[in-house]
Amino acid sequence: MSSPLPPALAATDRRGFFKRAGLGLGVAAAATTLQACDTNDDDDDAGAVTLDFSSDVGVLNYAYALEQLEAAFYSAVVADAGFGSTFNADEQAVLRALSAHENIHRDFFATAIQQAAGAAAVLPDLEVDFSAVNLSDRRSVLEAARTFEDTGVGAYNGAGRYLESADYLLIAGKIVSVEARHASVIAGLLETNAIGGTRIGGGSQIDGNGLDPAYTPSEVLGAVDPFVRTVIRAVNVPS
Amino acid sequence: MFDLLSTLDADAAAGVASRRRALHTVGKIGLGAAAASIPFLKPSVAFAQSGGNTAFEVLNYALTLEYLERSFYRQALDMNYLSTARPLVETIEADETAHVALLRGAIEAAGGDPVDYEDADFTFGDFLSSYDNFLALAQSLEDTGVRAYKGQAGAIQGTDYLTTALQIHSVEGRHAAAIRRLRGNQGWIPLDQPGAPVPAVYGAGNGFPAEDNVTQGGVDLAGALTGYTRQEITEAFDEGLDMETVLGIAGGFITGNKDQDDDGDGSDNN
């Protein structure tokens, strides 16, 4: 949808995408967007990290960043004091499973990146911000979950072609289909017979060709911006 | 229309033998009267290379699986048991129909010949006799589709087809999860899905571990990570599956004689 911009422009670019992302996410997400603009001013306090897509390690760190975010989100959801009353038993089981899976993904990437390139190559812990989500409100949580999962699917789909290693491509494939399973289940909790939500920029998550989206890092980082205080810059993204 | 793969016939003989072995395994997994001589893909297309699958092979393989799924859902939609699940099945059928069109278009755009199947070329027997049986096979076919696409990612890495294949792959994952939920199952695959009607769907293939695998990227996650059950670790990663094993699963349902049509006249060459 857009080509990556030089690092110097990344922050502006990110905000641009972030506004665009809000268009497709409905009323609740629009409110989220406004709050996130405010917290965005604090981003610098949380530091900045750079994802360098010129190597597979950079692509793995991109996935690691998203898994960090998802893991932190579901950990917060299941740890909320009202978790047992906000969600029915089935939903609790789903959210507990998602929390486990995403934490496993996060831990896996931390381990795999360290093995591949050393501890110094592992992306630092991101500072997250879920203040835009009302953890005691079922719909607020599930809509945020759907955004994370749908965005994650599109992120992996878009990043597959950046990977040079067939082994890493296979591993990414092993994870993205699980993210798709998550996305489908969450969509089904929000709406009977639904298997996906709304894609970035508007329209059904699954298009007329029966395809999930394949997002650029700019699109993805824009969509998750409301939930991350750390500035994430993407450089050397292949065209 | 010329066939780019026709020059690669030399390796096809080995491929046919391999295909027959794959189809023979159908009988072992209880799918009924599967014939070992089912025409699947034209040999020159199906096994043009001994060392790996060409993009055309992968696309026609994917197309065959999409035809199979589409036929299954269409035949189920003709039944009267879907009830409240009917809108979901219609959604999934529409996706599979779109995948068929997309893959056919991709093959034709590249100068290849897409395989032709009709709905009646597929037979599902008792799997269509009840809602529960329908769901059981739907889950198996979707989970197989997820494994099949994943298993070919490396074969089309570096081609323009990779991203599109990934975009289909994740939709199959969504289908699989939705069907699983209709069955009262979890949306993901616990261990190797004990009790599955077609165990091969979740078992090991050639070069691919079973779904209960816990070693990822060379790391035994069951040993390296703490705080998670073994089942959760298996759920967090889907596994790929090779073409031969997938054809062994799918072949049992292909009873028609449609094959690739080289002359473009729409008739069956066999």
Specify whether the CB–CB gap between B48 and B11 falls below 8 A: yes
- Predicted confidence (pLDDT) per residue in A180-234, tens digit: 999 999 999 999 999 999 999 999 999 999 999 999 999 999 999 999 999 999 9
Q: What is the pLDDT of residue B80?
A: 97
CA-to-CA separations, A70 to A35, A215, A224, B20, in angstroms, rounded: 19, 17, 10, 45
Write down the pLDDT at residue B49.
40
User: DSSP states of B222-246 as a string?
Assistant: HHH--SS-HHHHHHT------HHHH
CA distances from B121 to A13, B67, B99, B144, B161 (A): 52, 9, 18, 19, 27
Instruction: Write out the two tokens for A2.
Output: 């857009």
CB B170 within 8 A of CB A185: no
pLDDT at B54: 87
pLDDT computed for residue B260 by the predictor: 52
CB A13 within 8 A of CB A218: yes
Chain A CB within 8 Å of residue B242 CB: no
Which tokens sit at B66?
């999409």
3-state secondary structure (DSSP) of residue B131 = helix
Q: Strand pairing partners for B216?
A: B219
Both tokens of B238, joined, read 């889907």
**Domain definitions of chain A by residue range:** 10-27+46-235
* Distance separating alpha carbons of residues B218 and A112, to the nearest angstrom: 9
Residue in B164, B178, B232 nearest the CB of A195: B178
pLDDT in the model for residue B248: 96
CB B22 within 8 A of CB B247: yes
**DSSP labels for A13-47?**
HHHHHHHHHHHTTHHHHHHHHHHHHHHHTTGGGG-
The contacts of residue B79 (CB under 8 Å, 6+ apart) are B128, B134
Helix (H, G, I), strand (E, B) or coil at B254: strand
Q: Which of B168, B187, B224 sits opposite A210 (nearest CB)?
A: B168
Dist. CA B185–CA B93, nearest whole Å: 21
Nearest to B150 among A103, A173, A195 (CB): A173
**Residue B73 belongs to domain spanning:** 3-251
Model pTM?
0.82
Asked whether the beta carbons of residue B228 and residue A192 sit closer than 8 angstroms, the reply is: no
Give the span between the Cα atoms of B139 and A180, in whole angstroms: 15
The enclosing domain of B135 has a CATH number of 1.20.1260.10
Who contacts B226 (Cβ-Cβ below 8 Å, separation ≥6)? none
CA atoms of B60 and B5, how far apart (whole Å)? 12
Q: What is the pLDDT of residue B197?
A: 86
Which B residues 197-236 touch A at CB under 8 Å?
Answer: 216-219, 221, 224-225, 227-229, 232-233, 235-236
Q: Return the residue in A175, A181, A185, A205 with the most chain B beta carbons within 10 A, the one to mutate for interface testing.
A: A181
Which is it for strands B219-220 and B215-216: parallel, antiparallel or unpaired? antiparallel
Counting the structural domains of chain B, the total is 1
Nearest 5°: phi and psi at A135? -65, -15
Report, as ranges of residue numbers, the positions in chain A whose pLDDT lies below 50: 1-43
- Smallest CA-to-CA distance from B156 within B19, B41, B49 is with B49
A108 near B CB under 8 A: yes
DSSP string, A214-225: ---HHHHHHHHG
- Candidate from A161, A176, A185 with C-beta closest to B177: A185
Answer whether residue B270 is part of any domain: no
Residue B63 lies in a domain: yes
Instruction: Please indicate if any CB of chain A lies within 8 Å of the CB of B240.
Output: yes
Residue numbers in B near A162 (CB within 8 A): none
Sign of CA dihedral B20, B21, B25, B27: positive
Considering the domain boundaries, does residue B26 fall inside one? yes
Q: What is the complex's ipTM, to 2 decimals?
A: 0.83
pLDDT at residue B211 in the model: 98
Whether residue A185 and residue B187 make contact (CB cut-off 8 A), yes or no, is yes
Residues of chain A contacting residue B153, judged by C-beta atoms under 8 Å apart: 160, 166, 169-170, 173
Whole-angstrom Cα distance, residue B40 to residue A229?
54
Kindly state the tokens that stand for B58: 């992968």
Assigned token pair, B72? 């299954």
Tell me how many degrees the CA angle B156-B239-A75 measures, rounded to the nearest 5.
Answer: 115
Determine the distance in angstroms separating the CA of A161 from the nearest CA of chain B, rounded to an integer: 7
Kindly state the greatest CA–CA separation across chain A. 48
Per-residue pLDDT of chain B (270 residues; tens, 9 = 90+): 222 222 222 223 333 333 333 333 332 232 322 322 233 333 333 333 434 678 999 999 999 999 999 999 999 999 999 999 999 999 999 999 999 999 999 999 999 999 999 999 999 999 999 999 999 999 999 999 999 999 999 999 999 999 999 999 999 999 999 999 999 999 999 999 998 889 999 999 999 999 999 999 999 999 999 999 999 999 999 999 999 999 999 999 999 865 554 444 444 433
Q: What is the largest CA-CA distance in chain B?
A: 61
Rounded Cα gap, residues B216 and B87, in angstroms: 37
Please report how the helices A166-190 and A138-159 are oriented relative to each other, as an axis angle in degrees rounded to 10.
150
Radius of gyration of chain B (CA): 18
d(CA B221, CA B207): 19
Homologous superfamily (CATH) for A10-27+46-235: Ferritin, core subunit, four-helix bundle (1.20.1260.10)
Q: State residue A25's pLDDT score.
A: 29
CA distance B66 to B209: 24
Ranges assigned E (strand) in chain A = 48-52, 231-235
Q: In the numeric block, which tokens belong to residue B147?
A: 């494994």
Residue A48: its pLDDT value, please? 96
Please give the span between the terminal C-alpha atoms of chain B, in angstroms, as a whole number: 18
Given this model, what pLDDT does residue A177 score? Answer: 98
CA-based end-to-end distance of chain A: 11
Q: Which amino acid is at B69?
A: E
Residue type, A114: Q
